[in-house]
Amino acid sequence: MHRSTKDPDIQLRLADHVRACQVGDQVVLLDLLHGRYVGVAGRPVHVLVDAIDGWPAADLASSAPTTGADVSRLIQPLLAQGLLTSHVSECPPVMDIEEPVRSLDVHDAMAVTRTSVRDLRRFLLAAAVAGLWLRWRSMHAIVNAVAVRRHRPDHAGHGMDLQHLHGAMVTFEKLRPLAFTARDQCLFDSLAIMNFLAGERLFPRWVIGVKTSPFRAHSWVQSGDMVLNDQHENVRRFKPILVV
């Protein structure tokens, strides 16, 4: 049972497997354990600012008076879905990412680039692992796997060599049609790229963004301010909710 939210000594926060962002006058929650999005709109967005540590809509705080009963009634559905916790620990990390202002262009180089058997093996392995992850793992487990791999001791100190990155992405783009297309498979494509580049000890950021009216979620890979597998004009329409 959850303890009463009226207890002043209890500070609720987002659960470890939840990420959140503010999109306009709404808050979107990403439940990584269950692979779902939950939208919060209207009065709860404002009322919950002071009740939940890490609630992302601080600038939408309402000046209207609220009672403990009001807050408790709004919090209970989020508690029931496992989106909040009262356990004492830090909130899920919020990672910033640069605003994307350019896109990686590899098409001219693809015509003059040759791929090897080794490249093909690494590509097929990267795609196969991405597919297995999405089939058998929760998003929470996938996020942890990507984050742990990035921070392994033997990967420390490897900066992002743009020439190396460009060459690796040329190879990936040239081989992609052998296994899949990126259209409507942005999550799979992004994870396959992350796996492929990790084999080259290149670790860009994996991003999931959301938009509303209508709701859509989108995934892409980004290095600095450069988008690797989409057009920056497109991804700028989405608010990042997850950055790994």
Neighbouring-strand partners of residue 208: 219, 242
Give residue 62's pLDDT. 58
Distance between CA 104 and CA 182 in Å, rounded?
15
Question: What's the number of domains the chain is made of?
Answer: 2
- What are φ and ψ of residue 158, in 5° steps? -85, 105
Assigned domain for 4 exists: no
The boundaries of the domain holding residue 30 are 12-85
CA distance 73 to 93: 27
Verify that 230 and 123 share a domain, yes or no: yes
Q: Per-residue pLDDT tens for 85-109? A: 887 666 666 678 999 999 999 887 8
What confidence category does residue 6 fall into, taking pLDDT thresholds of 50, 70 and 90? very low
For residues 110 and 80, state if they share a domain: no
Whether residue 131 sits in one domain with residue 26: no
- State pTM to two decimals: 0.87
